[in-house]
Structure 1
């Protein structure tokens, strides 16, 4: 029994996904702390969506789902919360009555403008000890892993059956 435990432990210790998950969790906690210290009621998921809307061009919910890798019910719930806070509006899409066009409001833009300076300061803490080459490599590696998964999505899904 102890031997199996050792094998499982070494497997997790060599799994980069484990480290990505830990880092993701810490980054989310860091974001929550930054917001809490400033009495801003915004989750990291809501912040992601607001940033996607920040170019002020209308976007469909389907496009937000695709760009954020979140499922449709989760995006709907997040949009509902942001709409209640007055940070976005949903209007009927003139080209397709089954869709909504989602746009950030002035209040949403103002909030992003308020958050940006301390988010940039927070990044300095998070990325301390990493140079621009490190960060470029990290982004490239992350994009490569993402691309590998997406290119083999059907393979991953068929093996789970």
Structure 2
């Protein structure tokens, strides 16, 4: 019989950490009476980093499929955090941008969220976190390349 301890595998630990990060982010938003999901928040930040990205760019960046990104954007749009405009060069494509309300939300809570997440890395120094990021990027690249 093969000796296999699931809870000691990197895949299991990454999965657990990812789920707990999403849970803690959702809890953070709920405690502030914000009707935004962690997935919508990540999408909002990615839109803010680019200047009017195409929805198709967000599909690639978030590793979500087009229908899911469209659903997330609809929620953000309904709350007034983003707006969509048709690409004048190709009417089949839409650009998305962060609205004033969306930018205000980012400005209001980003620092608090970063502080909240800093607690998750207690016991690690900057080199540990840099090493963790480097390793996760390698694993991500390996997964995306297959």
TM-score, length of structure 1 as denominator length: 0.85
1:63 aligned onto 2:63: no
Provide the C-alpha distance between the structure 1 equivalents of 2:144 and 2:75, rounded to a whole number of angstroms: 30
Provide the C-alpha distance between the structure 2 equivalents of 1:85 and 1:104, rounded to a whole number of angstroms: 12
Provide the C-alpha distance between the structure 1 equivalents of 2:67 and 2:14, rounded to a whole number of angstroms: 25
- Secondary structure of the corresponding residue to residue 39 of structure 1: coil
The unaligned stretches of length 5 or more in structure 1 are 154-161
In the alignment of these two chains, the number of paired residues is 146
| Pairing partner for 2:121 from 124, 127, 132 | 127
Provide the C-alpha distance between the structure 2 equivalents of 1:33 and 1:79, rounded to a whole number of angstroms: 21
Superposed counterparts of 1:31-50, under 5 Å: 31-50=25-44
1:74 aligned onto 2:49: no
The unaligned stretches of length 5 or more in structure 2 are none
1:54-101 residue CA offsets vs partner (Å, 9 max, x unmatched) = 136111111001111111111010001000001001111012111001
- Secondary structure of the corresponding residue to residue 18 of structure 2: helix
Could you say which residue in structure 2 is the equivalent of 1:115? 109
What's the offset of the Cα at 1:14? 4.0
| Pairing partner for 1:91 from 85, 91, 99 | 85
Provide the C-alpha distance between the structure 2 equivalents of 1:118 and 1:143, rounded to a whole number of angstroms: 25
- Cα contact 1:88–1:104 (8 A) shared by 2: yes
TM-score, length of structure 2 as denominator length: 0.94
- Cα contact 1:59–1:101 (8 A) shared by 2: yes
Provide the C-alpha distance between the structure 1 equivalents of 2:9 and 2:111, rounded to a whole number of angstroms: 34
Structure of higher CA gyration radius: 1
- Secondary structure of the corresponding residue to residue 49 of structure 2: coil
Task: Output the aligned Cα RMSD.
Answer: 1.5
- Cα contact 1:56–1:104 (8 A) shared by 2: no
1:24 aligned onto 2:18: yes
